[in-house]
Structure formats: C-alpha cells, structure tokens
Chain A
C-alpha cells in the first residue's frame, strides 16, 4: 500500500468489516430496507451514496472551521441537499435516462443517516483527504450490505438476479420450478430486509466475538 498510509487505509477497511455503518453502527437502515428488493436498485443506491458521501465529507471538512456549531446539523443538511439537487439537475439535462433511474433515490439519499452521521462524527474533526477516504470507506461498507441483502431478496423473492431469471421461469415451470419450488413473495417486503440484515449481524458477531457488547 504505497498510496495510502496504514492509518489512512484503515479508514477504508474498517467500515467494510468491524465498523460497518449498517451492521455495527446500525445507521442507514431505512434505505437498506426500502430499496433492496432488487439487486440493481441496491447497486444504483450504493453508487449514489458513494458519490454524495465522498464529496459531502470533503465539503464539510473544508468548512469545518467556519461552521457555527449551533446550526451545524442544518448546514450539513443543506450541503447534502444541494449536492444531490445539483447532480439531479445536471443529469436531467445531460443524461436524462440515467436521471429517471436515479430520481427515486434522491429523497432517500438526503435523509440517509449514514451521511449525516459521517459529517457529524468525522468530517467536522478531520482534514479533507482523510474525510474523503472515510466517506469512500463508509459508503463501500454500506454498499456491501446493500448488495448482499439485495442479492438474497431478489434471488429468493423473484427468482432472478439483476432481472435475469436465473432459477427458471415460475410461470412456465422451468428450471427449479419444475420440481415444485416457489418464490417466497415475503422476501420482497421490508420486514425480510430487516431479518436478512439481522442474520448478517448474527454471522458477523459470531465470527468476531470482540464485537459483542456485554451488558
């Protein structure tokens, strides 16, 4: 790792595992529940958050010495909202089809607690480069969970991945459906996302007991 110092590399790798924003800090659950019924939506949301969190962290970090502490949360909200709206407007003018796919995510990005959480906990106290790495790391950690949950929900709920019917056709009864397999429609509903996240948390903590809080 010539590019990043050990300390900087940890900013990327920590949120991927032992300090994951969803499974350990339990932030960003709302969007993780809402949009993981399909793998494609999970990926789009992950990329959008990567962009907004990376850039937002840098902006907040640059402004950290001039933001009045009384209204810092409002300032953070304005920064996120402005970034998202700028991206949305530019896409609408120059990449209209892409903006159609993304527009439903705009509201979810603005209210994503991971973004506010990282602004508040990291960017306000650290320099732009480290904040940028922290933003990238946390959005990657978010992405990993979203993609795992999206993978299982789409596979078990719709029998497809990224829209491809990998298990056969449920109506024509081909593939596994020929043997009496049925899609589990419950996987498409939000409660199953919560249960899937719960299982991930369980697996993660049983592999690394240091993560279990005793109380």
Chain B
C-alpha cells in the first residue's frame, strides 16, 4: 500500500488506462460478434413477417415463431414476392425485407428523397397476403411491426415489437392477447382511411365489432398505445395508394 492513489497523476493515468482497456474490450467484442448478431436479426425479421401472415407455431395461448432452422425455407415458400414502392414505381426486390425503415424515414425528411417502401406479398392456402412493415415511437424507445392485409384491406394478422417499453405494461404490445385482437379489423370506412386505434374505454372489450377501427388498449400503457395507433395510421397511409389498386 505504498502507492499514493490520491495523487492527480495516478488518477489521470488510472482513468486513461481504464478507458483504454474497457474501450478495447468492448470494441473487440462488438466487432467479433457483429456478424452473428446481424444474422440473428435477419432471421428474426423473416420470423416476424411470417408470423404476421399466420405462419407460426403458436399453441394455445403461447406465441412461437417458425423455428430458426426452418425459417429460411418457410420464408421462400410463403413469401412469393417482395416489392419496393417508390412513388408510382413498383419494383421487385428479393432483399426488400432488409431495407432499414429507420434510415428511410430519416432520409425522407429531405424533400428531394423519395422514400423506398418495402412490401411483402405472401400466399397461404390460396389466399394473398400483403404485409406492410412499419416503425414508430413508443413511450421510451422505438416500436415496430408488420401488418398483414388481404386484398380487401382487412387485417389478417399483425406482429408488433419494441425496443424498451415498460415491462408488464407497454411491453405487452407483443403479447398475443393484444395482437390477436387486430385480426379481422378494417382500416377503411368505405373509401376513407381510418387506421386502427388502441382505444381506452372501448365499448367493445370482446372485440366483436370489426368495423369500429378500434381495439382494446392495454391498461397502464396509454402512451405506448397512442404511439402504436399513430404508427398504424401514418405508415399504412403511405402504402394506401398502392394498396387501393389491389381492391379493384
């Protein structure tokens, strides 16, 4: 204990050393695991898209994606086409699901940029699904999801996820009791776009009316619910010009 740990020189040297050690350690770890993490994220995206169109391994009450091993083959089996919508132009692109919605939204803030809108078209049991990816803001952090519509623009299934909503409250947007309510909901009133709102004091808690443009909100998660409703409205609206052409 002869060392003088109180001197300024020692303190500065210690701080520098610690920053270097910790920084190197974390940078090394992050870059060596980068590829594995990206791969996990890619698999997750495919699982989520498939989940929205009803391809999953759900058993009563539980939520289960297509397994990691099968996801690649199931994805190419059920997702028949991926397109990118840019204004009027619609191009096929097999890597549309890898488009980063966050970066697109950022870039779209400058007026000259035309936002790329990815859309996934799936087919299951002879029925077509149009799966719209979306991204918005919850209470603490980003929320995102996938909404599968049929050609009449009726919701067939959804998947939502979040980066950091309050556990037990806002985090419940990714639970089945919430997501299952969306199936069958309409987003259009005649020709007017309404979206779907997570509503408090909903007169229809059993969710029997599918044309009220509302699902039952989660108690204690008002702001997450509002963010989710806003995300549904905003992002579905961008796809509307294209989606409406399906209806005819």
Contacts and interface: CB of A to CB of B under 8 A. Distances in A.
B3 interface: yes
Contact of A185 (B43, B44, B220): B220
A122 interface: no
A38 B15 CA distance: 40
Given A92-B33, A93-B33, A96-B44, A41 B220 contact: no
B87 interface: no
B157 to A, nearest CB: 20
Interface in A102-129: 103-105, 107
A42 B105 CA distance: 36
Contacts, number: 91
A85 interface: yes
Interface stretch (B24-32, B88-96, B143-151, B225-233): B24-32
B5 A104 contact: no
Interface stretch (A5-13, A14-22, A63-71, A196-204): A63-71
A81 to B, nearest CB: 9
Nearest to B65: A97
Most buried by A among B15, B26, B220: B220
Interface in B41-60: 43-44
Chain B interface size, as a band, is: 20 to 34
Contact of A104 (B15, B165, B205): B165
Given A70-B6, A104-B164, A89 B33 contact: yes
B48 to A, nearest CB: 11
B76 interface: no
B146 to A, nearest CB: 16
Interface residues of A, number: 38
B152 interface: no
B82 interface: no
Contacts of B36: 93-94
Contact of B14 (A66, A92, A107): A66
Most buried by B among A37, A74, A94: A37
A70 B11 CA distance: 7
Interface string A136-167: 00000000000000000010010000000000
A90 B166 CA distance: 23
A82 B14 contact: no
Interface of A: 34-38, 40-41, 44-45, 65-71, 74-75, 78, 82, 85-86, 89-90, 92-94, 96, 103-105, 107, 154, 157, 171, 185, 188-189
Given A44-B167, A107-B164, 12 more contacts: A37-B166, A37-B168, A38-B167, A65-B1, A68-B14, A69-B5, A86-B26, A92-B40, A96-B44, A104-B171, A188-B220, A189-B220
